Amino acid sequence: MLPHLQLILLLLAFISHEPEAIAQYVEPFTSQVAPVTKHTDAATPLYSIQMKMAVWVYIPDIYKNFIIDIDAPFTWHDCIVDWNSWIDESSNCLGCTHPVSCEEYACTDVRTSYSYESPSCLPLTNTSTLPGVEDCICPVNVLNPVNGTCGQALLNYDRFTFRGSDGGNTFRYFYVTDSTAACAPSSMFESFPAHVSGVMAFSSSPYAFPAYLFQPFKKAFALCLPSSSSAQGVMFFGSGPYYLLPNSDVDLRSFLSYTPLLNHTDSFGYFIGVKSIIIKGMSIVVSKSTTKLSTIESYTILRADIYKQVVRMFSIATLGILRARSVAPFAFCLKNRIGHSLASLQIPDIILKLQGGKKWIISSSNSMQQVGKDVACLAIINGGATSEHGIVIGTFQMENNFLLFDLVNSSLGFSSSLLSKKTSCANFNFTTHSL
């Protein structure tokens, strides 16, 4: 065969197989991933997510920590709105973002339908301008989750990045996400934990972070809060799989039970239906009360009528254990002898029976807070008789529980304590791998 004919046939063979090769390519990333840190240096424990800020020009990497808020309508952080960095991408403005004008639809929509609301918030006026620019920049109210104060920020277009993951490992590849956020003055962060300079919204609002994620990552996000400030938890964006050490071949989805996520008027947060609370065979019906999930409240809050019944049942179920004096903010405490674990006290589980019949089991590691060398207290708070929600599930009860917010099917997947599965939220492998 002539040499040039052989070359033509080889080329034709390559072309005929190229579509097949392309069709067989599988995207190595099934999710985006970020570390979660517990902060105990604020008035109450809070949890932050760390992300790399995307920039227009080459400058050193900027990493920021944002408080995780699954109820907030939009993200805000300590930054500067700079018009020049929007019209001139060569502007080397470190930490600058790009403004939303008062005339844009996003401005009107956020301020009328998706804003922070509090009696302490002042009326908004279209008078915010930048030096040398006549256009009005969109002012919005933001609410400090630490001290409850309201302040004004400027709405902007921002960029955030997360590492790609296959559910068990992280890779050097970054996904860039453009979203609407707001720049707040530094005074709004004085009460924040050290090295935290923003609030990242993960609510159902169309201006919260999940709404801006690329497919398939916007379908779900998973939260795994650590129980210690010395170890990182993990947050996933994407519908799985998810793995934790030492069982690196066990998909955490196999541990999950599911219950519907419910809508609630005038809230962007996530709600579930708790039908009853069961402690050692005793139960109370709470089906007419709303149950909210919160990453801002440290401990579960119960409306007064529910709280009193739960404490009474828990008191009966622990009659064989010595009582201790109450330690604020807790009312019911037990003696926990030095050197003895909570497990040795034989604390009964608190079972939340949910809509659909599934049971969220709250074991002693999530129900009892050690407050001294020999005292442990029931980690629930009396919310008073006029509490808006019957139950608000706080972060202490979420620690070392794997929670999957399925945004497509509007359901919550929950594992109960991972400690019973011989793992914890601190066991994700954050070692970066090359492809």
Query: Which residue, among 406, 48, 53, has the nearest Cα to 204 in the 3D structure?
Result: 406
pLDDT-based confidence at residue 216 (cuts at 50, 70, 90) = confident
Q: Would you state the pLDDT for residue 7?
A: 45
Statement: 31-242 belongs to CATH 2.60.120.10 = no
Instruction: Give the span between the Cα atoms of 221 and 219, in whole angstroms.
Output: 7
Element (H, E) at 179: strand 170-184
Q: Hey, is 137 helix, strand or coil? A: strand
Convert the pLDDT of each residue in 221-252 to its tens digit. Answer: 999 999 999 999 999 999 999 999 999 999 99
Residue position matching structure tokens 């149950």: 291
State percent of the chain over pLDDT 70: 85
- pLDDT beyond 50 at 3: no
- Strands 300-302 and 380-382 turn out to be parallel
Q: How far is CA 209 from CA 69, 71, 196, in A?
A: 10, 11, 18
Q: Where are the beta strands (DSSP E) in 280-390?
A: 282-285, 291-293, 300-302, 323-324, 333-335, 350-354, 359-362, 368-370, 375-378, 380-382
Is 199 in contact with 75 (CB distance < 8 Å)? yes
Q: Would you state the pLDDT for residue 435?
A: 63
Query: What tokens were used for 273?
Result: 């239906």
DSSP 102-142: TTSHHHHHHHHHS----TTPPPP-S--B-TT--SBB-EEEE
Convert the pLDDT of each residue in 382-409 to its tens digit. Answer: 999 999 999 999 999 999 999 999 999 9
Give this prediction's pTM.
0.89
Average pLDDT over residues 75-102: 69
Residues in the chain: 435
Average pLDDT over residues 373-386: 95
Convert the pLDDT of each residue in 253-281 to its tens digit. Answer: 999 999 999 988 889 999 999 999 999 99
CATH architecture of 252-421: Beta Barrel (2.40)
Give the count of alpha carbons within 13 A of 367, CB side only: 23
Comma-separated ranges of CATH 2.40.70.10 domains in the chain: 31-242, 252-421
Least confident of 19-28, 97-106, 163-172: 19-28
Convert the pLDDT of each residue in 162-192 to its tens digit. Answer: 899 999 999 877 777 888 999 999 999 989 9
Instruction: Give the span between the Cα atoms of 337 and 312, in whole angstroms.
Output: 23
Q: Would you state the pLDDT for residue 18?
A: 45
Average pLDDT over residues 12-23: 45
Q: Which residue has the higher pLDDT, 123 or 426?
A: 426
- pLDDT beyond 60 at 429: yes
